[in-house]
C-alpha cells in the first residue's frame, strides 16, 4: 500500500510540511505544560544570549542549547503521544521509552544550564 502523502513534491510539499510543523508547535504549546514553561524561558533567554555572548560562536552556543531543550521536549512529547496511542496499559517497555525520553530532556536541560552558568560566570564574575 502506498502512502498518498509521500508523493508530494516541490512547493506543495514545503507548504504542507510547514503547516504540519506549525500544528505540532501549537499542539505542544497547548497540551504540554513543560513545553510552555520552556518556551517562555526561551523567550527570555534567546534575546539575553545576544547580550551575554562574546562573539557569534558564544551567542550561537547559548541560543543553540536553549533551542535544543525545546527540540528534545518536542521529541519527548511525540514519544509519549505514540506510546499513549498504542495503549494506556502499564508495560515495562512503555515505561522505559517514556523514561528514556524524559532523561533526554533532563540532559538537555543540564547542558543548557551548564553552558549558561559558565557564560554568566565569565561575563559577571571573571
Domain residues for the domain of 86 are: 33-125
Let me know whether 44 and 90 are in one domain.
Answer: yes
Measured distance CA(26)–CA(24) in Å, rounded? 5
Number of domains comprising the chain:
2
Residue 14 neighbours by CB distance under 10 Å: 11
φ, ψ for residue 87, nearest 5 deg:
-175, 145
Q: What is the pLDDT of residues 13-49, one digit of tens each?
A: 999 999 999 999 999 999 999 999 999 999 999 999 9
Let me know whether 24 and 80 are in one domain.
Answer: no
List b or e across 69-94, with b for residues whose CB sees 16 or more CB atoms inside 10 angstroms.
bbebbbebbebbeebeeeeeeeeeeb
pTM value is 0.89
Residue 38 neighbours by CB distance under 10 Å: 23
Residues designated as active site: 73
Let me know whether 42 and 69 are in one domain.
Answer: yes
Q: What is the pLDDT of residues 52-89, one digit of tens each?
A: 999 999 999 999 999 999 999 999 999 999 999 999 89
Amino acid at each position: 500500500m502506498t502512502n498518498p502523502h509521500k508523493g508530494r513534491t516541490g512547493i506543495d510539499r514545503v507548504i504542507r510540511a510547514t503547516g504540519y510543523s506549525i500544528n505540532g508547535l501549537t499542539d505542544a504549546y497547548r497540551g504540554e505544560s513543560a513545553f510552555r514553561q520552556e518556551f517562555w524561558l526561551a523567550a527570555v533567554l534567546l534575546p539575553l544570549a545576544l547580550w551575554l555572548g562574546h562573539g557569534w560562536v558564544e551567542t550561537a552556543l547559548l541560543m543553540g542549547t536553549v533551542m535544543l531543550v525545546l527540540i528534545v521536549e518536542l521529541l519527548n512529547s511525540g514519544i509519549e503521544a505514540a506510546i499513549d496511542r498504542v495503549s494506556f496499559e502499564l508495560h515495562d517497555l512503555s515505561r522505559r521509552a517514556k523514561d528514556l525520553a524524559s532523561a533526554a530532556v533532563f540532559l538537555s536541560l543540564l547542558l543548557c544550564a551548564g553552558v549558561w552558568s559558565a557564560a554568566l560566570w565569565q561575563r559577571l564574575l571573571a
